RNA sequence: GGCCCGUUGGUCAAGUGGUUAAGACACCGCCCUUUCAAGGCGGAGUCACGAGUUCAAUUCUCGUACGGGUCACCA
């Protein structure tokens, strides 16, 4: 009797720098495939390249996964049944398995120097594919002797010279390649570390990964991994290769497309939830569903590898902007208020202001957090007035009529008892009735007087609220003064 | 260059051997409105091309073009 194997995926980043959007999306899909099938998601650090190791990169990985809610079930920080989860701590395993392949004839030591290889690449004449296999046929006994004598070497995979290899990918379908196209790739480097090409197979098998999910750039090396699995007699996992994410010019996403790392986007003012939602829909869509706003919890329920596309997807900031707006509007008010406060406090410095109204006004207008300072600049500093600011065709307003209106308004506002929305609103409404003016005229004049800006976040009463009585009256006086002269 | 993969509006995309080929972003217009937004309503815009299979191809097959990936002691 067989137990259905539990789905297990892994996110296996190398600590070589920032958490790129492409990496994050791989992590997300890996997480979702596991969760959608009630399986496990694990984290493995692939630090076999000592030269590209970046200090702090591992911490950034933990941090990002955590704020995105992609919690793993096994990993370096929490352990698990198949540890260690850091490749540099698994070195002995790789060499054992490599020895096994050498013994079975599936691999061989290669003594070629990097210099010789470099020369070889320069030789345009030769039409060989990759390494010229010079060491492939050294007598095993002699090779073993040279290795024992301490001669520098790498271990290479002995590829079949004929036949073909076929595998099936969940996204790309059945793929077949001629074995003669495959290079005798390096499995163990001369420093004793495994290459990705070797370590991923060993670890995925040992860690019982059922679904190998990764970017489509690995598609062309997958046949080599299949041959490795076969050499060990291991079951080949399900492959799920993901389409690439490209920039708006169709080229691979890079710095010149703007912010492409998770942390940069957050710094730009995008909410992690919006970023996750955005990249979930890059190259994937739930069939027969037109909604596009999904929380991570909801994605876990509806995600299916079936909906993954093959074609590269363009990362569009327009759409991200929209998503972010949607998420901002759905935020619990208290949370949103706290975000606004954190940004606005230092800008208002010592000055008092009405955070609640500001947060309220900003909520429907902000695209990303980093827009806020510029949007509220007119509140934190007094901008210079210009007569034409008061001109509004529709309200039939101009500087002269504004001057009259503001003078009428001033005494009323100065004596208002309670400085709050309802009182101000009522007072202004009343003023319109008394003078027979249109509301748009009065409101418009006051709004510009308070803001010194044509386009503002919020209307006249809201601006008056945010500024507070003292500042609002001071600005009103300043406006009147300006219009007089 | 070899090999591999891809191609539904500007972008993300649903979908099918017979459909008026969904929806979203962006764009345009209107409404609402105390400005700007938000919101509501509406509009324009797509099956890369050429053969073949078929009563019928966007859908299946083969070519072409274009795009991408990969050919490291990087992952």
pLDDT exceeds 90 at position A116: no
Query: Can you give the pLDDT at residue A327?
Result: 97
pLDDT exceeds 60 at position A405: yes
Let me know if domain A255-330 sits in CATH 1.10.1660.10.
Answer: no
Query: Can you give the pLDDT at residue A433?
Result: 86
**Which of A199, A117, A179 shows the shortest CA–CA distance to A153?**
A117
Comparing A90-242 with A387-484, is the CATH topology the same? no
CB A231 within 8 A of CB A224: no
The domain spans of chain A are: 90-242, 255-330, 333-373, 387-484
Radius of gyration of chain A (CA): 32
What are the angstrom distances between the C-alpha of A433 and each of A235, A394, A484?
A: 83, 19, 25
Higher pLDDT, A421 or A160: A160
The mean pLDDT of A143-169, rounded to a whole number, is 96
Convert the pLDDT of each residue in A166-196 to its tens digit: 999 999 999 999 999 999 999 999 999 999 9
Q: CA A342 to CA A151: how far, in whole Å?
A: 62
Residue A237: enclosing H or E segment and its boundaries?
Answer: none
Give the angle subtended at the CA of A455 by the CAs of A449 and A459, to the nearest 5°: 65
For residue A156 the two structure tokens come to 């290479």
CB A450 within 8 A of CB A410: no
Q: CA A102 to CA A452: how far, in whole Å?
A: 79
Three-state DSSP class for residue A151: coil
Nucleotide nearest to A200 (CA to C1'): B75
Q: Say how far A387 CA is from B31 C1', in Å.
A: 31
* CATH code for the part of the protein at A90-242: 3.40.50.620
The mean pLDDT of A113-127, rounded to a whole number, is 73
Q: What are phi and psi of A52, to 5 degrees?
A: -100, 5
pLDDT exceeds 80 at position A378: yes
ipTM of the prediction: 0.95
DSSP state of A204: H
CB A363 within 8 A of CB A382: no
Q: Other C-beta atoms within 10 Å of A329: how many?
A: 11
Residue reference for tokens 């919890």: A297
Query: Can you give the pLDDT at residue A83?
Result: 83
- When mean pLDDT is compared across A137-146, A148-157, A408-417, the lowest value belongs to A408-417
Nucleotide nearest to A217 (CA to C1'): B69
Q: Which positions on chain B have an atom < 7 Å from some protein CB?
A: 2-8, 10-15, 22-26, 34-38, 67-75
Convert the pLDDT of each residue in A67-81 to its tens digit: 999 999 999 999 999
Q: CA A410 to CA A15: how far, in whole Å?
A: 63
The mean pLDDT of A383-406, rounded to a whole number, is 88
Query: Can you give the pLDDT at residue A124?
Result: 55
CB A179 within 8 A of CB A82: no
pLDDT confidence tier of residue A249, bands split at 50, 70 and 90: confident
Residue reference for tokens 């100065």: A414
pLDDT exceeds 80 at position A251: no
**Which of A234, A228, A134, A223 shows the shortest CA–CA distance to A180?**
A223
Q: Say how far A72 CA is from B74 C1', in Å.
A: 25
Q: Say how far A224 CA is from B41 C1', in Å.
A: 57
Pairing of strands A211-215, A238-242: parallel
Q: Please give the mean pLDDT across all residues of chain A.
A: 93
Query: Can you give the pLDDT at residue A1?
Result: 47
Q: CA A36 to CA A369: how far, in whole Å?
A: 32
Query: Can you give the pLDDT at residue A484?
Result: 86
pLDDT exceeds 70 at position A4: no
**Which of A267, A225, A216, A269 shows the shortest CA–CA distance to A245?**
A216
Q: Say how far A285 CA is from B23 C1', in Å.
A: 11
Q: What is the set of active-site residues of A?
A: 255
Q: CA A240 to CA A230: how far, in whole Å?
A: 19
pLDDT exceeds 80 at position A394: no
Query: Can you give the pLDDT at residue A127?
Result: 53
The mean pLDDT of A371-391, rounded to a whole number, is 92
Convert the pLDDT of each residue in A333-376 to its tens digit: 999 999 999 999 999 988 889 999 999 999 999 999 999 999 99
pLDDT confidence tier of residue A396, bands split at 50, 70 and 90: confident
pLDDT exceeds 80 at position A258: no
Q: Is A454 exposed, middle or buried (0-12, 13-18, 19+ CB in 10 A)?
A: middle
* Centroid of chain to Cα A116: 41
* CATH code for the part of the protein at A387-484: 1.10.10.350
The mean pLDDT of A410-420, rounded to a whole number, is 91
Nucleotide nearest to A446 (CA to C1'): B34
User: Of all residues in chain A, what percent carry a pLDDT higher than 90?
Assistant: 79
DSSP state of A172: T
């Amino acid at each position: 009797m067989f137990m259905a194997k539990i789905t297990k995926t892994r996110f296996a980043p190398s600590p070589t720098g920032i958490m790129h959007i492409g990496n994050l999306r791989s992590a997300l899909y890996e997480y979702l495939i596991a969760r959608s099938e009630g399986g496990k998601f694990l984290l493995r650090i692939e630090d076999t390249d000592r030269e590209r190791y970046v200090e702090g990169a591992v911490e950034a990985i933990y941090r990002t996964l955590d704020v995105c809610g992609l919690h793993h079930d096994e990993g370096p920080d929490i352990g698990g049944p198949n540890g260690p989860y850091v490749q540099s701590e698994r070195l002995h395993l790789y060499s054992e398995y490599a020895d096994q392949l050498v013994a079975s004839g599936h691999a061989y030591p290669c003594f070629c120097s990097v210099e010789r290889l470099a020369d070889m690449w320069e030789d345009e004449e030769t039409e060989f594919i990759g390494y010229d296999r010079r060491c492939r046929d050294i007598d095993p006994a002699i090779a073993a002797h040279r290795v024992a004598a301490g001669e520098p070497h790498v271990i290479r995979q002995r590829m079949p010279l004929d036949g073909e290899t076929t595998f099936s990918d969940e996204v790309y379908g059945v793929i077949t390649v001629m074995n003669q196209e495959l290079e005798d790739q390096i499995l163990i480097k001369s420093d004793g570390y495994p290459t990705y090409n070797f370590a991923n197979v060993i670890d995925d098998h040992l860690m019982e990964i059922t679904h190998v999910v990764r970017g489509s750039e690995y598609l062309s090396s997958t046949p080599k991994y299949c041959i490795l699995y076969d050499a060990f007699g291991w079951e080949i996992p399900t492959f799920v290769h993901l389409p690439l994410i490209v920039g708006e010019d169709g080229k691979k996403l890079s710095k010149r497309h703007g912010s492409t790392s998770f942390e940069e986007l957050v710094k730009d003012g995008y909410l992690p939830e919006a970023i996750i939602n955005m990249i979930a829909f890059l190259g994937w869509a739930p069939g027969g569903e037109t909604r596009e706003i999904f929380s991570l919890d909801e994605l876990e329920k509806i995600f299916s590898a079936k909906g993954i596309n093959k074609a590269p997807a363009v990362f569009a900031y327009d759409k991200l902007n929209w998503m972010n707006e949607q998420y901002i509007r759905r935020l619990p008010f208290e949370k949103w208020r706290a975000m606004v406060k954190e940004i606005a406090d230092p800008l208002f410095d010592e000055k008092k202001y009405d955070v609640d109204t500001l947060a309220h006004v900003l909520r429907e207008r902000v695209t990303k957090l980093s827009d806020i300072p510029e949007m509220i600049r007119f509140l934190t500093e007094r901008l210079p007035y210009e007569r034409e600011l008061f001109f509004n065709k529709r309200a039939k307003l101009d500087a002269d009529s504004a001057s009259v209106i503001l003078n009428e308004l001033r005494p009323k506002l100065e004596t208002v008892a309670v400085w709050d929305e309802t009182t101000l609103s009522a007072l202004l409404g009343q003023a319109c009735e008394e003078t027979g003016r249109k509301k748009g005229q009065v409101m418009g004049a006051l709004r510009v007087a308070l803001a010194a800006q044509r386009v503002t976040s919020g209307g006249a009463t809201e601006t008056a609220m945010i500024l507070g009585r003292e500042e609002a009256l001071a600005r009103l006086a300043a406006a009147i003064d300006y219009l007089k002269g």
